[in-house]
Structure 1
Amino acid sequence: MKKHTFIYWLFLLPSLLGVALFYVFPFLFSLYYAAVDNLGDMRFAGLENFADTLSNPLFQQAAGNTLLFIGLCVPLGMVLALFLSICLQRMGRGRVPATLALLIPLVVPSGSIVYFWKVLFDQNGLLRKLLLQAGFSHEIVFQNSWAMGILVAVFLWKNVSYNIVLFWSGLVWIPKTYYEQIALEGAGAWRQFINVTWVYLSPTTFVVLLMSIVNSFKVFKEIYMLYGPYPSTDIYMLQHYMNNQFQSLSLPQLCSGAYILFLAVSLVLLVLFRLQKRVTDTYQ
């Protein structure tokens, strides 16, 4: 082993040991709990816990809500962040204050503004009172379907700023000569976006997509603070299912659910990596 390679591994070793000790080993050991019947007799159950988890209506409800949430917030967050990034890039005066305003959610802890969200979106919050005063019926205002839209709004407020930073870094590295050349060929703003911005921004878009999917699983804290551990069935997420199984000490169900989620996310990431490689090979 070369000297500089040894030095690299030496600096990486503390982080690798920490990841292995606190993440990899516990995750692998949890497979043992996923394969036993209960914590009392520790009878080997094989795939029985996995089958029970998949057939559990509560798990199915949580998985469906999670998929719906990801399907709503990830595309909306990416489109909104890209649009705002392009707007900031083309701004003249006022770019600095506009950028600072959009990046505020990055430096403000979400826990410190939960009270603000509760004032707006609580069962008797300001938003519902304004809707009632605007003439909306009591049934429409207090129906549970509003809760998912509120969670999407909270997610966008919290994560769009991070996506703006990623898209901004990708836009900066696109040479302006590409736009000038295609503009001389008569291309308008839309063709410039499709043929230049979108093509050269594809690696950044892939990173933003991955980070958005990962961050979509971190919304549990906000839901818990707003609606508690047992919210309505419309916003009951997989994180609620895992948390409630942990509190009830149902470790076999918890571990089997965690592995099912791990396999599903891994499959999605594998498909995304394959698509990214195909797109990269196409434009090289």
Structure 2
Amino acid sequence: MTAVVPGRAGSDPGATRGAPPQKDGQDAAGRRGILHRIFGAQPHGLLFSAPYIAFVLVVFAYPVVFAVWMSFQDYFFAAPGAEVDRPFVGFDNYVTALTDPEVWRSFGNVGIFLIINVPLTVILSILLATALDRVTKARTFFRVSYYVPYVTASVAVVAVWLFLFARGGLVNNVLGPLAPDPSWLVNSALAMPTIAFFVTWKGLGFYILLYLAALQNVPRELYESVSMDGGGRLRQFFAVTVPSVRPATLLVVLLATITGANLFTEPYLLTGGGGPNGASTSPVLLMYQRGIEQQNPDVAAAIGVVLIVFVLAIAALQRKLVGGEER
């Protein structure tokens, strides 16, 4: 007689019948693990973000893909519904764009703009946000005052700056003999720096709000610790505030860079379309001139693709320098 050992495989016919459910359970757990890696711990969050994802795909992703396609075609505008031949031309549009001196000058102009605008935006935003964070009286008034230019229509604000910086404007009247000649916005050397100061002033309120939000998460105990060690306001600022808001600084730098690279309204309105003699022409303004005014949308698309690569390269460099590597 053979002894039956409990729990040993093959000793109980019912044990083999229990194996398939265990395998099914492992398969189900594996599927859940895959879904977890794809959709995250809270997959229903995709439902709430779906409208924004659709917005990004329709407003940003599709135009970028279409612009890339246009840049490789002999593309031109045609009547709606008309079937026209738009042959593939390879890199011809890129050659045309990159051999155009005006394209290189427009990128140089926006480079000057970014060199002035981005550091100035970061410095003024963090200083003013720190000051506003310490204000106890009329805090709402000061915060709204800095935010008003950001939400004001550009056309209205541009009219004020044209009044201030015109040849006979208020700024030149105050400076008297020190006023530049030619005046600010018709001076090849001063047109783009003047636009950079204008954009910095107009957008400052938005970046101040970003820094104010970041400052709310800085523990007050850190300031007290530095104060007990004999550190004053200046040391508290550089030892506590600046390191604590580093993620906000990276965000401000990236947003200011992207906004500056897409500069269009300000030079178009302030200098009459990139004047004087192209000194304030930006790549986006040049895209408008080439694509809409001169009916060369394929070359304009090539300029746009080059601009995207330019912005991505600068953003990657800024992330490395400002954001640093996560340890």
1:270 maps to 2:319: no
Give the Cα separation in 1 of the matches to 2:275 and 2:211: 34
1:14 maps to 2:51: yes
Q: CA RMSD in A?
A: 2.6
- Determine the structure 1 residue equivalent to 2:68: 31
- Determine the structure 2 residue equivalent to 1:180: 224
Give the Cα separation in 1 of the matches to 2:178 and 2:60: 49
The verdict on how the C-alpha distance between 1:230 and 1:193 changes in structure 2, with shifts beyond 3 A counting, is closer
TM-score using structure 2 length: 0.76
1:94 CA displacement: 3.9
- Determine the structure 1 residue equivalent to 2:290: 245
Give the Cα separation in 2 of the matches to 1:277 and 1:112: 36
1:179 is paired with a residue whose SS is helix
Give the Cα separation in 1 of the matches to 2:144 and 2:55: 35
1:68 CA displacement: 0.5
Structure number with greater CO (CA < 8 Å, separation at least 6) is 1
Amino acid at match of 1:23: F
Give the Cα separation in 2 of the matches to 1:213 and 1:84: 20
Q: Could you tell which deviates more after superposition, 102-111 or 164-173?
A: 102-111
Amino acid at match of 2:181: E
Return the structure number with greater helix share.
1
Give the Cα separation in 1 of the matches to 2:46 and 2:139: 42
Query: Contact (CA 8 Å) 1:122, 1:226: kept in 2 or not?
Result: no
Q: Which stretches in structure 2 are left out of the alignment for 5+ residues?
A: 1-34, 77-83
Give aligned-pair identity as a percent. Answer: 23
Match of 2:235 among 179, 184, 191: 191
Match of 2:306 among 260, 281, 284: 260
| 1:1-284 to 2 correspondences below 5 Å | 5=42, 7-37=44-74, 39=76, 42-131=86-175, 134-136=176-178, 139=181, 141=183, 143-232=187-276, 233-247=278-292, 248-275=294-321, 278-281=324-327
1:138 CA displacement: 7.0
Give the Cα separation in 2 of the matches to 1:95 and 1:14: 35
Aligned length: 279
Give the Cα separation in 2 of the matches to 1:137 and 1:123: 9
Task: Could you list the structure 1 runs, at least 4 aligned residues long, displaced by more than 6 angstroms after superposition.
Answer: none
Query: Contact (CA 8 Å) 1:229, 1:244: kept in 2 or not?
Result: no
**Which structure would you say has the larger Rg?**
2
